[in-house]
Structure 1
Amino acid sequence: MKKTRIRRGIGRQARHAAVASGLCLALPLPHAAGAQQPAIDDGASTITQSDFLRRVGVMAHDSMQGRDTPSPGLDQTAAWIATEFRRIGLAGGGDDGGFLQRYPLRAVSLDTERSSLVAGPARLRFGADLLPLFGEIVEGEAAGDLVLVSGSGSVGGGTRRAVRGKHVALVLAADAQGVDRSTFQIVAGLRNAGALSVMVTNATGDARWAANRDRSLSPSVSKGWEGAGDAAPFVPLLQVRTASLERLITDSGLDLASLAARADGRLRVHEADGVRVTLIQRTRADTVSAPNVVGILEGSDPMLRDEYVVFSAHMDHVGMGTPDEQGDSIFNGADDDASGTSAVMEVAEAMAALRTPPRRSMVFLVVSGEEKGLWGSDWYATHPSVPLDATVANLNADMVGRNWTDTIVAIGKEHSDLGATLERVNDRHPELGMTAIDDIWPEERFYFRSDHYNFARRGVPVLFFFNGTHEDYHARNDEPERIDAEKAARIARLLYYLGMEIGNADERPAWNPESYARIVSEDR
C-alpha cells in the first residue's frame, strides 16, 4: 500500500458535528439494547488493553520470524491462535472439525545442481556465484554475448540497441548499497530492451552475500488451486558476485574496478570481446500448504443460528529480509496485522464468555496469504466452513493499532445498510471515545485490497476497519512497543458491539442495489 499522510484528531470533530446536527437523538432501540444490554456490556468489559498487547506480543515476537506465507513462523502462529480459540470455547471450523483450514500452494525452487552460467572454461554456480534477484525463478536457457553496462540514467535508444540479444552485467558503483530504486529502473529498462539476462554486481561485499543467500534461493510461491497460466518469459534477473564476474571477463580487456569507480556517470555499454555466455536455469515444483484458523460460536436462536457473521483479520506478514545496521532482519508486523488479529480474538473471547450468545452464529476467521494477494480469504470464500449465502456480514480488521486515538476508518459504509447500523452503534457508545468515519482515501482503492473483498465480490455485505499506513508499514520497526493498545482495545469493543447488533437483529444486512450491481454482479 502507498503510504498515506494521516490527519490527526478528526474523530473528535466528527463527534462534535454529529451532536450539533442532532444525529444521535431519538434513535430507535435495537433488539440488543433491551434487557440483554447489561450482559452485553459485561462482555465488552473483558476486552482490555493488556490482553490486546499480550496477543500482539506473541504474534509479532521475533520467534515468529515475520510470519511469511508459508513459513514455520506462520504455522507456529496459527497453532497458537487455534489453541486460544479452543481455550475460550469456540468450535473448530477448519478441516475435519479442527481449527486449521489448510490451502495448497505451488512452490518453485531453483535446482542449483542443474543450473549454471558458463563462459569458456569458467563456470558460475548458483549460491556460490549467482543469486536470483527479486525472488524471480524461471526455467530456461539462453546463449549470447556478454556486455557490461555502467553508469546511471535512463536506458536510451543507443543502449537499447547495444544490449538487445545480449547477456548484460550491470556494474554498480563501488560504494553502492545494493539495488535502489534507480538501479531497479535501469534493470527493468535493460530487460525491456531485449536483454537475454541482467546480472547486477554485488557491491556490498561477501558478508551481505552470505546474508542474502538463503532468502534469495527460497522458493517462489503461488496459489496452488488455479491453473499455472502461461510460463513467464525467460529473462533472468540475477545478482553476480563481483569476483566471479571478474573471472568471466579475464581476457576481455575490461577492468571491473575501473568501471565501478566511474559508475556514476551516464549509462555506457562496454563490449566484453570474445566472452560468450550460456545461462541454464532448471527448476523443481513442490506442493506445500498454508493455514487459516477458523473458530465458530453457535448462535442462541434456533431460527437464526444457521446464519453467520464473519469476523476476519490476517495473521501473516512479509517475513524476513536483509539485516540492517543493527542486525535486525525480521519484519515483525505488529500493526500489520497482529493488531487486527488480536482485535478479532478479543471479540471472540468476549462473545464466548456471554451466558447468552448472539442469536446468529459467529465465525472468527484468521487468514494467511493476505500479503501475497488475499490468498487465504480467497480459499475460504471458495471453500467456506459455513455457507456463503448464509453469511450475512463480514467485519474485517487490518492495521488498527496506530495513528489516531479517537478515529477508525470504516471502509464500505456506503455499500450496504451496515453503514447505518455502525453509526447507530457508534452513537450509542460515546464511552468508547471512538468515531467510525468514511473512507478518506478513495483514490487508494483500499476497498479492494484486504480480505473483506473476497467476501464482498461474492455477495456478502462488508465493513473494513483500518487506521491507515504509517512510516513503519512493511518495515522492521513495526514492533509491539509502537502499538497503541488502549486505543485498539476500544476499537475491538466497537467491533464487539457491532457484531452483537448484527447478530441479534431480526433482519440480515442488505446491499445498496447500485453497489451490488457494481461490486458483485460485475464480478460474477
Structure 2
Amino acid sequence: MSDRVVSAVRSKSSVVASATALVALAACGPEQEPTAGAPMPATTSEAAAAAAATITPDDLYQKISVLAADSMRGRDTPSPEIEQVATWIGEHFASLGLRPGGDDGSFIQRYALRQMTASVESSSIAFSNGASLAWGTDVMALGLPRDGSTSGPVVLVSGSGDPAGAFADLPDQAQVFVFAGPEMEATRQTAWAGLASALYDAGAGQVFVISTIAGTPWERSLARSQQGSRVVGELDPDRPVTMNVREGAVRAALAGVDVDALQSRHDDDLEVTVLEGLTVDSDIAIQILDDASAPNVVGILEGSDPALRDEYIVYSAHMDHVGVGRTVQGGDSIFNGADDDASGTATIMEVAEAMASLDRAPRRSMIFLLVSGEEKGLLGSAYFADHPSVPVEQMVANINADMVGRNWPDTIVAIGKEHSDLGETLNRVNEAHPEIGMTAIDDLWPDERFYFRSDHFNFARKGVPILFFFNGTHEDYHRASDELDKIDTEKTARIGQLIFYLGLEVSETDARPQWNPDSYAEIVEGA
C-alpha cells in the first residue's frame, strides 16, 4: 500500500478501531443466505469448488515466507531483490502453463526507472539587467522542471481566480513569476498545477512561484529536491512543473518592483503584467543520478470461449515493499512487508494456480499481474496500464489485492463496490459461498482515499471496473515489524477463494461489468 499517492495523513488508530468493532459485529451476525430471486452464480460447480480448495494456508505460508524473508531485504524498487522476486514468480507462472505476457515472449515486462534532477552546475537563470538566480540555492523544483533553453520577457502574475482565458495575450516563451502569497507554503506545488498548465498552454517558457520559505526550512527543501525524482519511461516534454524561487532573491533581481504589493494580491482577481525591456534566459539541464529499470510480471491464462477469450480479467497485487530503513525495533532494519503486500502477491499466485487447475479454462482470459514500484507511487501498474499486454478496452475487470493478511478473521473490505455492478456480482458470489466464512463489505474509510492509493486505480482511470480487497492498516504498517509470524494465512486463503470465485463468475457471465454512470464521469472522464 503506497503512502505517496495522496498527501492526506492517515489515522491508523481509527482503522484499527474500526477493525476491532467489525470483529465483534461479524461474530454476532447471522449466517448469510442467497438472496431470493437472485441468479445462481456459475461458481457453484464441483469443479470450481475443487479448484478453490487448492488455495490453502500452507501454500500461502510458503509463498509469503519467500517474499517476506530477510534475504529479500524489503523488496525495494529498484533492487536486486525485486529482480529475484520477479524471476521466481515468472518461473512459477511458467510451471502453471501460463502464457508469458511480458517483453519479447517472457513473463517480465521492464520499465525504465531513472532517478533524475536538475543539474546545479549546468543550470542557470540570467536576467538581462545582470541579475541571476542560482539553481540549488535560489531556485528548486519539487518535480523535474522543463529542461532546455528558453528566453523571453519577464511576466508577473498575481492574484487568484480561474486561469481559463486569462493568458491569451501572454508573450511567447514568457518567463513567468507567480506571486502566490504566504498560502503557497500550505498548498505547495499541487495547488499551482492548473495555473502552470494554463501558462504553458499559452506559450510560457518557464513558470516560477515565489516562496516565502527561508532559512533552515528552505535549505531542507533544497536538499530534498536535489535527491531527484524517479521517472518511469521517457520525460514528458510538456510537463507543467513549476519552480520555487526564494522571495529574497526575486526582490534583488526585480529591483523597482513592489513585491509586497504583488504578494498581498493573492485573494484578488488574476493580474498579468509584462515588464517591458526585461528578459530572462533560462537554461536548465536534467542530470541522471541513477539509470535503472524495474520489473513487472505478467502471466496469461487463455480463455476457453472463442467469443469471449479476447476479453480479460486482470488480477493484480504489488510484489515490492519499502526496502531497508534505519535500525529500529530491537535492531531490525529490514521492512519485510509480509502483509504489505506479500500477502496480496501470494494470494494472486494462488488464484492463478486455482484457475490453471480447472479442466476447462474460464470463458474469458485471465491476466495475473504482479507489479513493482507501487510504494514509489504506483509506478509499475501505471506503466502496464499505459503499455498493456492486450488493449485496455479488452480488460473487463481488475481485481486487486493489497494487504489481505491481518486484522479481522472473517471480514474483508472491497473498495469500489459502489462504482460498478462488480459490487452486485461480489455480493451474489459472497452469498452463494457461505462455506468460505468471509464477508466482503463496503469501504469503511472513504476519507482516507484508499481508492486512489493502490494499483487498481491505474486501471480505473483507464475505464476498467475494479474491486480492491484490503484489510486496513495496522500498527505494523510500513514498519520493520510487518513480519510473517503475524499473517493469518487461514484467513488469507479464504479471501483468495472468494476472489477466485469472483473472477470465475465475471468470466462465465455473458455481459461485461458495467460502471455506474456517475462514477464513470467522476473517475474516468474526470481523470
Normalising by structure 2, what TM-score?
0.68
CA shift for structure 1 position 195? 3.0
Instruction: Check whether the contact 1:12–1:435 (CA below 8 A) recurs between aligned residues.
Output: no
* 1:440-451 → structure 2 map (5 Å cutoff): 440-451=444-455
Q: C-alpha separation between the residues in 2 aligned to 1:327 and 1:16? A: 41
CA contact under 8 A between 2:26 and 2:410: conserved in structure 1? no
Which amino acid in 1 is paired with 2:510? D
The aligned counterpart of 2:67 is: 59
1:75 maps to 2:87:
no
User: Are 1:366 and 2:370 an aligned pair?
Assistant: yes
- Classify the secondary structure of the residue corresponding to 1:348: helix
Residues 282-304 of structure 1, C-alpha deviations (whole Å, 9 max, x = no match) = 95444321110000000011111
> Out of 207, 216, 230, which is 1:221 matched to?
230
The corresponding residue for 2:349 is 345
Q: Does 1:329 align with 2:303?
A: no
Matched, 1:512 2:516: yes
The answer as to whether partners of 1:312 and 1:344 remain within 8 angstroms in 2 is: yes
| Equivalent pair of 1:455/1:461 in contact (CA under 8 Å) | yes
Quick one: percent identity of the two aligned structures?
56
Label 1:285 to 1:326 Cα distance change in 2 as closer, same or farther (>3 A): same
Counterpart amino acid of 1:47? I
| Residue pairs, 1:418-433, within 5 angstroms | 418-433=422-437
Q: What 5-or-longer segments of structure 2 have no aligned partner?
A: 4-9, 123-141, 146-210, 247-285
Secondary structure class of the residue paired with 1:50? helix
- 1:353 and 1:480 map into 2 onto residues whose CA distance is 27
Partner of 1:107: 115
Verify the 8 A CA contact 2:329 2:481 in the aligned structure 1. no
1:7 equivalent to 2:7? Answer no
Per-residue CA shift, 1:32-67, capped at 9, x if unaligned?
Answer: 44xxx1011110111100110111111111111111
Partner of 1:161: none
* Aligned mates of 1:380, 1:15 — CA distance in 2: 40
* Shift of residue 8, structure 1, vs aligned partner: 2.8
One-letter identity of the residue aligned with 1:58: V
Structure 1 residues 289 and 517, CA gap change in structure 2 (3 angstroms):
same
The answer to whether the 8 Å contact 1:67/1:73 transfers is yes
Other-structure match for 2:401? 397
Change (3 A) 1:390 1:199: closer
Q: Are the equivalent residues in 2 in contact too, given 1:9–1:404 (CA < 8 A)?
A: no
Decide whether aligned partners of structure 1 residues 31 and 431 sit closer, same or farther in structure 2, where only a CA change above 3 A counts: closer
Q: Deviations over 1:73-127 (max 9, x none)?
A: 111111111111111111100001110001111223899999xxxxxxxxxxxxx
Which of the numbers 12, 30, 40 marks the counterpart of 2:41? 30
* Corresponding position: 1:314 with 2:318: yes
Alignment match of 1:461 (pick from 458, 465, 484):
465
Shift of the 27–420 alpha-carbon distance from structure 1 to 2, 3 Å rule, reads: same
Letter of the aligned partner of 1:29 in structure 2? M
- 1:193 shift after superposition: 2.9
Q: Secondary structure at the match of 2:291?
A: strand
Distance 1:16 1:505, change over 3 A: farther
User: In structure 1, how many angstroms separate the alpha carbons of the residues matched to 2:329 and 2:377?
Assistant: 30
Q: Which residue of 1 aligns with 2:199?
A: none
Preserved CA contact (<8 Å) 2:312 2:364: yes
AA at the equivalent of 2:83: D
Cα contact 2:112–2:233 (8 A) shared by 1: yes
One-letter amino acid of the counterpart of residue 340, structure 2: D
In 2, distance between residues paired with 1:13 and 1:336? 25
> C-alpha displacement at 1:31, in angstroms?
3.8
| Alpha-carbon spacing, 1:516–1:283, altered in 2? closer, same or farther (3 Å) | closer
* Preserved CA contact (<8 Å) 2:41 2:428: no
Q: 2:482 aligns with which of 454, 478, 487?
A: 478
User: Aligned equivalents of 1:57 and 1:298: distance in 2?
Assistant: 30
| Paired amino acid for 1:7 | A
* Conserved? CA contact 2:40–2:432, under 8 Å: no
Q: What's the offset of the Cα at 1:376?
A: 0.6
The alignment partner of 2:521 has SS state of helix
CA distance in 1: counterparts of 2:212 and 2:500, whole angstroms: 51
Structure 2: distance between partners of 1:11 and 1:511: 31
For residue 288 of structure 1, the aligned residue among 292, 309, 333 is 292
**Equivalent of 1:49, from 49, 52, 57?**
57
Alpha-carbon displacement from aligned partner over 1:445-485 (angstroms, at most 9, x marks no partner):
11111111111111100000000000000000001111000
* Aligned partners of 2:329 and 2:480 also within 8 Å: no
1:222 Cα offset (Å):
2.9
Tell me the alpha carbon deviations over residues 413-468 of structure 1, each in whole angstroms, 9 at most, x when there is no partner.
01111001000110111111100000010111111111111111111000000000
8 Å Cα contact 2:41/2:432 also seen in 1: no
Residue-by-residue CA offset, 1:232-282 (whole Å, 9 max, x unaligned): 5589xxxxxxxxxxxxxxxxxxxxxxxxxxxxxxxxxxxxxxxxxxxxxx9
Query: Does residue 193 of structure 1 match 2:213?
Result: yes
Q: 1:98 aligns with which of 106, 112, 121?
A: 106
| SS, match of residue 329 in structure 1 | strand
Q: Distance in 1 between matches of 2:351 and 2:63?
A: 13
